[in-house]
Amino acid sequence: MTLVGAKTLIVKNKNMNHITEAEKKEYCDGTVKIEEGARLLFLMMGERLHKIKNEKLYEPYWDSWATFTMEFKELSGPSISKLIKVYEKFVLEYGFENDRLQKIGWTKLYQITRHVESKEDAEKWLDLGEAQSRQDLNKTLIEAETGTEMTECGHKNTYVIRVCEDCGDKERVYDDEESTKKEDESYPF
């Protein structure tokens, strides 16, 4: 896979209102190629990180795995762990080909990992991962965990989170307005 045209279009990023139809098409095609490349790179990163961690290839240049991972400017520790988990689960454990996995993307693959206990499970969830958007897949995964279909739930057992747009403080709003409980900043929405 090559990223033909992508580099030149980044360099000559001129006013997009004054480009030709051919340049528009080239720019759009280049963007698709970049996305395809990014989908391939996550598997390569997972493989490399797995090898570096398990074979301690970072020694003696870094004191520890944690020290080595601090070299990454935009990749957090949790993201590194997720990339490794996806590689280990789908490539090493079940032997899936890169072509199939890169179509799904690493964020959906990571979501799926907690539901996979066999190759048959993996096949089922990979099919859903290919067919569904990330949001729809997340709903399907939650339904599998809870045993309740969201369309039939009725949503009687709910609560509201109030977020201050100025400071980002979060509060859980109870039925009686006087009683509120602060929620953790990292509350997963």
Q: What's the whole-model pTM score?
A: 0.65
Summarize pLDDT for 77-104 with one digit per residue, the tens. 899 999 999 999 999 999 988 888 888 8
Contacts of residue 89, Cβ cutoff 8 Å, sequence gap at least 6: 109, 113, 116, 122
* Domain spans in the chain, listed from the N-terminal domain onward: 6-153
Gap between the Cα atoms of 86 and 48, Å rounded: 12
Alpha helices in 55-186 (DSSP H): 65-69, 77-86, 98-104, 106-113, 119-131, 134-146
* pLDDT in the model for residue 186: 47
From first to last of its 189 residues, the chain has per-residue pLDDT tens of 344 444 444 445 556 667 787 887 887 778 777 766 776 788 888 999 999 999 999 888 999 999 999 988 888 889 999 999 999 999 999 998 888 888 888 889 999 998 899 999 899 999 999 898 889 898 888 888 888 887 777 778 788 899 999 988 999 888 654 444 444 444 444
At residue 161, φ and ψ (nearest 5 deg) are -110, 125
